[in-house]
Amino acid sequence: MKQIETRQFLNRMLRISIHSLWVFTLSPLFLAGASAQEREFLTLDENVWATFYDLPSRRFRNIRDAFVRRDFDAAESDLQVAINFTSIEASRAPEKLQPPMSEAIAELESIRENIRDTSVSGSDLDSTFARVHWLLAQHYLMMATDSRDAAQHKNAGRYLWATAHHLERAVLWSDARIDRSVLNALESSREMGTALQTSDRPERVYRNRPVAATGKTLVKIGEQLNRPVWVRERLELNN
């Protein structure tokens, strides 16, 4: 099932199936007053959708805790939310990212189906969560690039924040250590992301080449985690 359609790229309106949103806490607010036809799909401004960037992080923590407590009903529910969200993002990701994102979603679905069995371990959860975060980081960096090029500066800032967030979570779930310089670079990406969201002179922020700098940080983390960079050809590594 196709879960999201992007229409009018410069206007950044997202058309999302209600089926993919049914487990979201805020969906009743979105649906208030909608007609029967409108209840099949919901059109959202991307400014709203972008604020959900950290939803997988919150759900993954809940899933891990529930797994330890053997509260499998809670774990299955949160896994479904994570699956739905990641599926939506995969459908608007670059073509080269879609196959690995589909594979990661399949891993989440397998975990949800088998989480009550002894075949699923805590390390299975950790490695899958790290992989999803790594792929989302690449997706959001491309969204930051597209937003910058479309002069959607606030969204560029939001997506830079999202990129740094998911890179950091990929490291944490991998139980890896990274250089202090990389941690500083992630913090710089967040600062520049905030500046793009709040500044009335975004060209001043762009002088520091925040998208290119974040791309270089992503490559460094990929090297340290031994993870593939699927969007390398679009990164501005020479800037």
pLDDT at 71: 97
Residues of the chain with pLDDT under 70: 1-45, 239
pLDDT at 102: 97
User: How would you label 91-100 residue by residue, b for 16+ Cβ within 10 Å and e otherwise?
Assistant: bbbbeebbeb
Give whole-number Cα distances, 134 to 21, 39, 137, 174, 225, in Å.
23, 33, 5, 10, 10
pLDDT at 216: 95
pLDDT, tens digit, for every residue of 121-160? Answer: 999 999 999 999 999 999 999 999 999 999 999 999 999 9
Q: Residue 155: what residue type?
A: N
